[in-house]
Structure 1
Amino acid sequence: MTSHPDPLQVRKADHPIEELFLRRWSPRAMSGESLPEAQLLSLFEAARWAPSTYNEQEWRFLYAHRDSKHWATFFNLLLEANQTWCRNAAVLVLVVSHKVFARNGKPNPVHTFDAGAAFENLCLQGAAMDLVVHGMAGFNRGNARRELKVPDDYEVEAMIAIGQAGDPEQLPEELQAREAPSGRKPVGEIICDGPFSF
């Protein structure tokens, strides 16, 4: 079995950071093995500790294990291109966020930002556990809201595929070529001292 490339052999930071940030990437090849509930709960526990405005913790995670009664509902939300590789995921997750503050019902302008922070925590925990964690925008949001009964005061944000690492050669040929950790823009291209000057 061919294994995933080691991100630490491919990626180099320009400035000192923890290796975990370099180890986190988004492979697609998964083995089809189940994910023990304890491991899944560790991922959600990491997400739980993300920062949020007024400690709202406005993220919510709906999920289905493969071969569970809810799997088909989650799987059928995915666009066909994502179904081709997600069929070997152990768990599919829908991320939603509360659009209003629980304390006063007023609009929360950063609910999406905070949900993204929770997702990143989940991703980093997955990298520490050598799991595949891959976020996706390629799904039908309207169907997700309807099929999973998401209330109007919650935003449907993204889906996540989670699983044990698998053999990249089992992916469709066009995806095999993309099954490698990607690089990043230099820091100088994403920061500026003072007003916007990119």
Structure 2
Amino acid sequence: MPALRIEGYVIVSADGMLANASNVMPDDLKFEGDKQFFTAALDRADLILHGRNSFEDQPNSPRRKRLILTRKVRAIAPDPSNPNATLWNPAGASFEAVCEQAGIRAGTVAVIGGPFVFGMFMDRYDVFWLSQAPHVRLPDGEPCFPGVPARSPQQVLASHGLRAGQPQMLDPAADVTVTPWRRT
């Protein structure tokens, strides 16, 4: 199979959470600069990969080819509600098989969550784009990765062979940055 470039994207609170205790991304974690960065990245991606609770809800969302992880199918199935989506149960089919089924043989796969999905690809990311909102706290929220909050998101990424690059400012008023974590 030709090379797929796998990139991850998440914005987290100061305590490493991607959603509140109700498993909802609160408005406090939404910033225009991060939204623009995320939208542009997904517009460039050949395939979006996420769990059943993650979705970007953007104007181009219905046109994007996607894989949705779910246990509701045995292996691979078309999504009856979205002709651009394929449902995938990793217990029944490999990532390579589902990409082949979806018609993706090369290009960029954007992994957008949730925590279980991010964890599945920790040893395969070419780059993980970690956006941080340092003034937002989400007590009892949904951790971005398996192992958080016992370890920080940065410690989790580093433990999987990724190294931080130069952060980019996305929202100066809120100190929101994005840091690329690249495989060494």
Greater C-alpha radius of gyration:
1
Q: Same fold (TM over 0.5)?
A: no
> TM-score band (shorter)?
under 0.3
TM-score by length of 2: 0.26
